[in-house]
């Protein structure tokens, strides 16, 4: 006597059904254990336990970190990001370098734009030095200034391209957007 199979053919490769959507067990994303359902996680004034202490298991930042919807950029962050580009026009690479080291742990938005401004300056320097390393020895050996003509390309890149990308970066930072310069003009060395 043979018993009929308890599962239909091909059903053993399917996950077991769950009563909640997306295959997660019910309550997987609910409040932490021991928290009343009407109270926000942590219950304290700073998102920690009722004593106000930070508990990383809840996934919230420590006290003092500005809270807001994910992806929301603060007004002061936009201002600092704009200063990284405007400062390059005034004092060169020092403005984004100082802003990067001072603000890099406070805001990812500021860090992104300051690092991009630094990478842009370093990339322009690499372009200039690479062309100079090829052209200058040839000009010295030929005892003629004609081999220095290719230096005009990185010079124009420095004069025209710098203003274009500074304005573009400042405008995008003012609109709270993460805009990445083309890789040829901005190698990602500092992150």
pLDDT higher than 70, residue 3: no
Query: Half-sphere exposure of residue 13, counting CA atoms within 13 Å on the CB side?
Result: 2
DSSP-derived 3-state class of residue 37: coil
pLDDT score, position 102? 93
Mapping DSSP to helix (H, G, I), strand (E, B) and coil, where does residue 145 land?
coil
7-11, 44-48, 184-188: lowest mean pLDDT where?
A: 44-48
**Residue 75 contacts residue 68 (beta carbons within 8 Å):** no
Instruction: Quote the mean pLDDT of the chain.
Output: 76
Tell me how long the chain is. 191
| Closest among 75, 73, 76, 90 to 166, alpha carbons compared | 90
pLDDT above 60 for 50: no
pLDDT of residue 12: 57
Average confidence (pLDDT) over 54-76: 57
Give me the pLDDT at residue 83, please: 94
Q: What is the CA radius of gyration of the chain?
A: 28
Assign 119 to helix, strand or coil.
helix
pLDDT in tens, 111-168: 999 999 999 999 999 999 999 999 999 999 999 888 899 999 888 888 888 899 999 9
Does 37 score more than 80 pLDDT? no
Q: Which residues contact 93 (CB under 8 A, 6 or more apart)?
A: 117, 118, 121, 122
Separation in Å, CA 189 to CA 47, 56, 89, 130, 154: 36, 31, 21, 17, 19
Q: Is the pLDDT of residue 48 over 50?
A: no
Arithmetic mean of pLDDT, 57-64: 46
């Amino acid at each position: 006597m043979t018993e009929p199979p308890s599962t239909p053919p091909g059903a053993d490769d399917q996950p077991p059904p769950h009563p909640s959507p997306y295959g997660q067990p019910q309550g997987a994303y609910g409040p932490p254990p021991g928290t009343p359902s009407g109270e926000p996680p942590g219950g304290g004034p700073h998102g920690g336990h009722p004593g106000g202490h930070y508990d990383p298991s809840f996934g919230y930042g420590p006290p003092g970190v500005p809270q807001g919807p994910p992806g929301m950029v603060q007004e002061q962050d936009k201002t600092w990001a704009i200063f990284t580009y405007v400062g390059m026009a005034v004092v060169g690479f020092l403005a984004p370098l100082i802003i990067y080291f001072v603000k890099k742990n406070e805001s990812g938005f500021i860090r992104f734009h300051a690092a991009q401004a630094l990478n842009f300056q370093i990339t322009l320097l690499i372009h200039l030095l690479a062309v100079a390393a090829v052209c200058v020895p040839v000009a010295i050996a030929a005892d003629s200034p004609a081999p220095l003509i290719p230096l005009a390309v990185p010079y124009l890149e420095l004069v025209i391209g710098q203003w274009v990308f500074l304005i573009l970066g400042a405008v995008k930072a003012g609109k709270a957007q993460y805009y990445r310069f083309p890789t040829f003009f901005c190698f990602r060395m500092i992150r």
